[in-house]
Every structure is written in C-alpha cells, then in structure tokens.
Amino acid sequence: MRKKLFKTILLGSLVTCTYLSANLNDDGWYVGIDAGFINIGDDTIDITTYDSDGNKKNTQHYKDTTSLSYRFKIGYQHFNKNRIELLFKNEKIKTNVENVTINGFGINYEWGLTCLESGNILPYTLIGFDFGRAKFKKLDISNKTVDTFGLNFGLGIRYKINENFDTNIGYLHSNTAFGDFKNDKGDITAISQDKVNLGITYKFKK
C-alpha cells in the first residue's frame, strides 16, 4: 500500500513538473536584431606582413577606434528558455589606418540561467561561431577580400516586455580569424573585440 501511494505521488509530481515547465518555458520561434557599438576593451586588428619569399617580417597592432555591428537573427526558444539561432552579420570597423567591412552568417546558442531568473528578468550566457567575407579598404592590401571565421562568447540579461517582445543587454567578446592574402602584401591574423550588445526580439504566438 505504501509503495503504491509513493509511486502515485511520484508520478503525479513528475506530471505536474512537466506541465508547469511546459507553461513556463514559452517555447516558440522568434526573429530579432542585435547591435554592438560600445567598445569596452582594447579592441585590436593584428596585421602580419611577409616578404616576397613568404617569410614573416613583422606584426603590427592597430586600435579599433570605431565599429558598428548588426546581427539579424531567427531562432527557436526551447526547453528551459534556452535559444538556438541562425544569424546574419554586417560589421564595419574603423582604425587609425584601416577600414574593414565584414558580412557573414553563423549560429549562436543562448543558455538561459533560470536558476537566477527574477520576474521578467532572465540572465543568460552565449556561445557561437560565424563565417563570412571581409573587405579591406586601406593600406597596400586595399580592396582585398578574404574568408573569415569567428568565435563569440557573451553574457547578459534578457527582459520580457510582454508575450511577444523581449529585449536584452549584455557583454559580447568576439575573435575573428582571417584567411591568407595570396600575395606578399599582408595577412590579417585576427580581430579581437569586446562590446556592449543590445537587442530586441519578437516571438511568434503558437
């Protein structure tokens, strides 16, 4: 009798937890846009130059003086308010010597820290990667286009405005590596950036 009662209570608890989770998770598709435009670190572009034989000559570090990045995204919010999203990136970077434009696409995974959730506020962490093409507009590597690969890490806070809209603010660190230039003019090895990231998303009703 006791075993039966225990099993009934356990089964009922599991069903209740599952039901409550389904109601609280707000699963569904969404679209949104993020913008990163406030430098909070020593963002740099590293340019390595080579001689005509392909031997490394030196590496110069240039300060990212101004940059603006947009990420258009479409994603799905699933179990425990985690999100996976496909993003399309457009970024313009200016330094004291070089202008760079990057266009690409990638995938982010956002992990909602529900253990720290309070009301409409949900902290999160983020990891992702992207591929793209970069074009350089100054130096003697002007108008060269190269392949890029980037890794992104971040953390922030998501605020639920209503059933459809939420907004977020957070910190985003990104490292972007570049393919070789097929000449002796130079090789962009990396761009490192730390920014404040702002965004808004619209979630479709089921």
- Per-residue pLDDT of 147-163, as tens digits, reads 888 899 999 999 999 88
How far apart (Å, rounded) are the C-alpha atoms in residues 37 and 131? 20
97: which residues sit within 8 A by CB, 6+ positions away? 62, 138, 139
What are the residue ranges spanned by the domains of the chain?
A: 27-203
Alpha-carbon distance of 200 to 167, in angstroms, equals 4
Say which CATH topology domain 27-203 has: Porin (2.40.160)
pLDDT computed for residue 19 by the predictor: 40
DSSP 8-state symbol, 205:
P
Indicate whether 142 pLDDT > 70. Answer: no
pTM score of the predicted model: 0.73
Lowest-pLDDT choice from 9-13, 33-37, 123-127: 9-13
Q: Judge residue 56's burial from the number of C-beta atoms within 10 Å of its C-beta, 0-12 exposed, 13-18 middle, 19 or more buried.
A: exposed
SS3 206: coil
Question: What number is the average pLDDT over the span 54-81?
Answer: 79
